[in-house]
Amino acid sequence: VFVFPDKGLHKPIKSYLVLDTVYNIFSAHDFPIIPNQHWFLAYPPFKKTLNYRIDRFLDKVKNSSSILFVRWVASYQE
């Protein structure tokens, strides 16, 4: 479900499944299917959000006295 409160949108939207084969990053919901529009036009806002999250994460790692990383999904061997 895509939620864009500023646009009053709270409804399911179909999206492309995108796999970045260079960085092995999978996206299941960041590139909505919009008729007559290429999927990659959604890339600039996606990249902006991704950069924001990366910068925030690196800032937390740098400025926190302790950090706990949790692995959500893994096999016993992993």
Residues 6+ apart with CB under 8 A from 44: none
Question: What does the alpha-carbon distance between residue 32 and residue 43 come to, in Å, rounded to a whole number?
Answer: 10
Helix (H) or strand (E) holding 20: strand 18-20
Span 1-26, pLDDT tens digits: 555 666 666 666 788 888 889 988 88
Question: What does the alpha-carbon distance between residue 3 and residue 25 come to, in Å, rounded to a whole number?
Answer: 22
Question: What ranges do the domains of the chain cover?
Answer: 2-63
What pLDDT band is residue 48 in, cutting at 50, 70 and 90?
very high
Average pLDDT over the chain reads: 85
Question: What does the alpha-carbon distance between residue 15 and residue 2 come to, in Å, rounded to a whole number?
Answer: 10
What pLDDT band is residue 28 in, cutting at 50, 70 and 90?
confident
User: Is this model's pTM higher than 0.85 or not?
Assistant: no
